[in-house]
Amino acid sequence: MIVEGQVHGGLVQGIGQALMENCEYDDQGQLITGSFNDYCLPRADDVPNFVVGTNEGAPCTHNPLGVKGCGEAGTIGAGAAVTNAVLDALGTRGIHDIDMPATSHKVWQALQQSNG
């Protein structure tokens, strides 16, 4: 249960980074997304359901307990996978690049500017 929870949290963090989390600053360099009222974090209803599989039969050989890290695995892959999915969808409209986070507003703007 702990491993699954860590992987779920990592996946949600990667999805949030790809689609919504962004630090924004004003012209004077003041952070304007410094509270959770202004900084968008994913909630449970913002992400799909997923099932995590584990392989408990392969302990780590580099420490005496045989334990491994697990939460970062979801974080690392999720951002790239989600951003690639967005670009695959937008590619039919001639859009081949978008900066993370690919917010709904950024996607809408890219679609308005596309010639496809």
- The two structure tokens encoding residue 11: 């996946």
- Express each pLDDT in 9-31 by its tens digit: 999 999 999 999 999 999 999 99
Structural domains of the chain in order of their starting residue, each with its CATH number: 2-113 (3.30.365.10)
Q: Is the confidence at residue 66, as pLDDT, over 90?
A: no
The pLDDT of residue 69 is 81
**CA distances (Å), origin 38, targets 23, 41, 54, 116:** 9, 10, 36, 33
> What integer pLDDT is reported at residue 1 of this predicted model?
67
**pLDDT tens-digit series, residues 20-62:** 999 999 999 999 999 988 888 899 999 999 888 877 778 888 8
Residue 31, classed as helix, strand or coil, is strand
pTM: 0.81
Handedness of CA 36, 38, 44, 50 (dihedral sign): negative
